[in-house]
Structure 1
Amino acid sequence: MTPHEHVVLVDSEGNAIGTAPKAVVHGPDTPLHLAFSSYVFDRQGRVLLTRRASHKITWPDVWTNSCCGHPLPGEPMPEAVTRRLSHELGLRVAKVDLLLPRFSYRAVMDSGIVEHELCPVYRVVVADDAVPNPDEVGEVRWMPWKEFSDGVLGRSLEISPWCREQVPQLVGLGADPLDWPVADPAALPAAAR
Structure 2
Amino acid sequence: MTVAPPELVVLLDPAGAALGTADKTGVHHADTPLHLAFSCYLVDDDGRVLMTRRAATKRTFPGVWTNSFCGHPAPDEPLDTAVRRRGRQELGLDVGPPRLVLPGFRYRAEQDGVVEHEMCPVFVASATGTAQPEADEVDEVRAVPWGDLVSAVRDRSWPGLSPWCVEQVEELATLGEGPLSWPEGDATALPPAARLA
| Fold equivalence (TM over 0.5) | yes
| Residue aligning to 1:140 | 141
Equivalent residue for 1:82, pick from 84, 88, 94? 84
Superposition deviation, residue 127 in structure 1? 4.1
Whether 2:16 is the aligned partner of 1:14: answer yes
The residue type paired with residue 90 of structure 1 is G
Could you tell me how far apart the structure 2 residues matched to 1:6 and 1:127 are? 28
Structure 2, gaps ≥5 residues long: none
Q: What is the Cα-based RMSD across aligned positions, in Å?
A: 1.0
Distance in 1, Cα, partners of 2:178 & 2:110: 32
Alignment identity in percent? Answer: 55
**What is residue 102 of structure 1 aligned with on the other side?**
104
SS state of the match for residue 82, structure 1?
A: helix
TM-score (norm 2): 0.94
1:170-181 residue pairs with structure 2 within 5 A? 170-181=172-183
Contact 2:12-2:193 within 8 A present in 1 as well: yes
What secondary structure is seen at the aligned counterpart in 2 of 1:186? helix
* Count of residue pairs the alignment pairs up: 191
Q: Match of 1:45?
A: 47
Ranges in structure 1 where 5+ consecutive residues have no aligned partner: none
Question: What TM-score comes out, normalization by structure 1 length?
Answer: 0.96
| Aligned-partner Cα distance in 1 for 2:95–2:166 | 25
For residues 126-153 of structure 1, what are the alpha-carbon distances to aligned partners after superposition, in whole Å with 9 as ceiling and x for unaligned? Answer: 2422111111110101010100111011
Task: Measure the CA separation in 2 of the matches of 1:184 and 1:168.
Answer: 19
Which residue is equivalent to 1:165? Answer: 167
Q: Tell me if the contact between 1:70 and 1:80 (Cα under 8 Å) persists in the aligned partners.
A: yes
What is the rounded CA distance, in whole Å, between the counterparts of 1:80 and 1:69 in structure 2? 8
Query: By how many angstroms is 1:112 displaced?
Result: 1.1
Residues of 1 paired with 2:122 and 2:36: CA distance?
A: 12
Counterpart secondary structure, 1:116: strand
In structure 2, what is the Cα distance between the partners aligned to 1:146 and 1:128? 23
CA offsets 1:31-85 (integer angstroms, 9 cap, x no match): 0000000000001100000000111001111110000000001100001100000
